[in-house]
Every structure is written in C-alpha cells, then in structure tokens.
Amino acid sequence: MLAKPLAFTHTVTERFLRYVLIDTQSDPASPTCPSTEKQKNLGRMLAAELQAMGIADAHLDEHGYVYATIPATTDKQVPAICFCSHMDTSPDCSGANVKPQIVKNYQGGDIVLRPDIGPIGGLQGGRVEVPVIRTADHPALADQIGHDIITTDGTTLLGADNKAGVAEIMDAAQFLMQHPEIKHGTIKILFTPDEEIGRGVDKVDLKKLGAAFAYTMDGESAGCIEDETFSADGATITIEGVSTHPGFAKGKMEHAIKIAAAIVDRLPKDTCSPETTEGKEGFLHPIGISGALEKASIGFIVRDFTDEGLKEKETLLESIVKGVMKDYPRSTWRMEVTPQYRNMKQVIDRHPEIVDYAIEAIERAGLTPVRGSIRGGTDGSRLSFMGLPCPNIFAGEHAFHSRLEWVSRQDMEKAAETIVHLAMIWEERA
C-alpha cells in the first residue's frame, strides 16, 4: 500500500553513533541484573533523552530496564503496543572503545576496515590480518549500493545488535512527540539489559509496562519480519566413572573424561550440528565439557522449530549415551533436560493481526516485506510466552557479534519509519 511519505528529519544515525561509544557488554558469569553495571550508563542516557522529548514517565529501574510511555493522540480504544530493543552487546567480542566509521555512498566491492595498515608488519615482521568485509561473505552488501555503511575499525564489534534498534525507537519516539497530529494509541517503550546472555526479560515488569502486544526491533535485512524462532532446551549429561590408582588400574578404571569424549565423538558428523544445518533444520550442540577421572559432565544446547524435533534430538542423544555406556558397565550416567524457550509462533499465530499490520507498515515505508524465521531466540520469544505476543522487525544489523558488523544509515531510517507507520495502522484498524 502506498502511503503519504512522512516528513521525517531523522536523528537515528547521530543517536546510533553516540550509543555505540558506550560499552554495554553483558557478562554470563555474573549473577546480578543487569549483569554489568555499565549497561546502566546507556540506560540513564536514554531515559534522560526520552524525558527531554517530553515523555514524563521515562525512567531507568534498579534492574537496568528503561520504561517509557508515549501518550495516545486518539479517542479510539487502541491496544497499547510496545517497541523493544536490548542495550547490551555480546560477550563474544569486545564492545569497548568502539570507533565507528562511515563508508558514504557505497558503490560495491569489499570494505577494508583499516586501510591505514598494510598486509605486512606487526608481530616480528609477521603477517597482520587486515579486517575486510568481503562481498563474497556478505551478499547483503549487494542491496546497499548508494547507501552509507557504518562499520567499526575492525578491532571491536559495532553494537548495531541492538543499538540500531534502540536508535530507531528513539528516532520514532521523537518524531511522534513532535507530531501530535499523527493519530496513534498508547505507545510503550522498553529497553532491556542482558538479552545476549539469555536473561533479557528476567526482571521485566509487564504489569508496569502495560502493553497488549509488542515488537522487538532486532532483525537483520531491511523489510524482514520474523514471527518464528527456535524452540530451545538445555541438556546435561553427567557421568560417574570408576576411579582407582593408575598403577593398578588395568581392568578396573573407567575414566569419566574418556567416556565423555567418546559420547562427543559419536555425535553425527554430517548433520544435526550448527555447522551442518540451515533453514528449518535443528541441531544438537555440545557447549562445554568438564570433569575429572571419577566424574565428568557435558553441556548441550538443543534447537529445533518444533517440540517434536526437540524430542527427537534428545532421544538421539540418549541413544548415543546408552551405546557408549555399554563399554563401561560399572559406570553410571544421568541426563537432565531443561526447557529454555519455545517457538514464539505458537503464540503469535493466535493474533495474526500483529504480523499483518507489521507487513503493511513495512510496505508503507517503501520496502518489500520478507517473512522469516530466526535460527535463535529473542526477548520476544520469552515475552510471547509471558503473555506479550512479540514478533521481530528488522533493525538493519548485519554480521553481529563480530568485528565485521555493519549497518546502513538508510536501513535504520526505514526501520524508524516502519515504527511510525505501525503505530498509525493500529489506530486506523481500531
């Protein structure tokens, strides 16, 4: 559907370039919420900027969540909708001392992140790896001709995951506050900590938030709307071996570490792993092994788009363990499975208008909608099962969790416009 263009004076890029300078890396080893106090530095800035827009209730709570409400501008009874992004960056790559740089009017080809260093030098005359975003590895660059591409200098991640989403929501919020003539219902804003370590909604107060439906702004390519995620379990195999003095161990010792290694060795080689699957295929993935002679454990994550697929992979794991343990008759084992999150499609399909309105908003922003699935989870996965149905809309972020992360200025602007159109559509349909 063609829509009248919004008279947007965008602030999204300026905001984004400021937000990425704040180190907000989360820490899975920390028991606190937020896991790192430095996440609150960005939270305080966002709350202050929202208040400066005239959003009186904007605040950062003790757990590191930012809440805010844009009041309705209509007399209609419109469901309150929330836009959500996370403030933390991944522990996989440093987010400190980010140095963003902009490739203006990109005309194709590889992007060299540090053209100031040559291929030779550094470590005793050894070769230095020059960070390059290669078109062969990043086919999405083909859609970015003429765009302004924001990257790092190749020494840190960028933080587009998910500060692009944060900046887009802030840009849209400012536009709505400056244009009260645009009709919309109550808009809720939520910025969360610790999404990257799976704890993004652990302390969220949904009653205080007061939204009926929500959207995370945490997707990749422009135009994408994702209403499906993996379902996820964790599995732990614990092995109790047989210990004896190594000098007198023949025929007696059953080494728990070796048993654990044998289990890992018997996992499928050509399928059912992250490195051999794509699309709607799930996997069984060992993430840690620890122990000693007498006792060892292996941690797994299990992923599939259906609950039946999860069960199949857990049954496969159990059969592998039983097969290995036949060779160790005096050792024992146990398997514990812990549910982590479920495919949000199970909830979102009960409310098809959530995705339908998002598709229309993307079209009104001048983009072609692409409906997809996430080979992972989002805050929206858990929010959906907590009673807040929450699909995921594109933020424009690419190559996240890496030094090659990048985002397009134009894609971020389209995401901000999509948010505004979406707010308008909910009011129109009420």
Bridge partners, residue 25, by sequence:
89
CB 155 within 8 A of CB 98: no
Residues whose CB is less than 8 angstroms from the CB of residue 297 and which lie 6 or more positions away in sequence, other chains included: 236, 237, 238, 239, 260, 289, 290, 291
Judging by DSSP bridges, how do beta strands 231-240 and 332-341 pair with one another?
antiparallel
Say if CB 256 and CB 240 are below 8 A apart. Answer: yes
Q: How far is CA 230 from CA 84, 258, 278, 301, in A?
A: 20, 32, 12, 11
Single-letter code of the amino acid located at 82 = C
CA–CA separation, 66 vs 60, rounded Å?
4
CA distance 33 to 279: 33
Distance (Å, whole) CA 391 – CA 379: 10
**Catalytic residue flag (residue 61):** no
Residue at 374: amino acid letter = I
Closest CA to 403 of 152, 175, 85: 152
Q: What are phi and psi of 246, to 5 degrees?
A: -65, -20
DSSP code of residue 142: G
Give the other-Cβ count within 10 Å of 70's Cβ.
24
Whether 88 is catalytic: yes
Q: Which of 195, 220, 397, 413 is catalytic?
A: 195
What's at 420, amino acid-wise? V
Rg (CA), the chain: 24
Amino acid 203 reads K
Measured CA to CA, the distance from residue 181 to residue 420 in angstroms comes to 13
DSSP of 267-335, one letter per residue?
Answer: S-SSSSSGGG--TT--EEEEEEEEE-SSEEEEEEEEEESSHHHHHHHHHHHHHHHHHHHTT-TT-EEEE
Q: Minimal CA–CA distance to 191: which of 46, 71, 29?
A: 46
Catalytic residue among 49, 88, 226, 233: 88
Residue 12 in contact with residue 168, Cβ under 8 Å?
A: yes
Q: Which residues are catalytic?
A: 88, 195
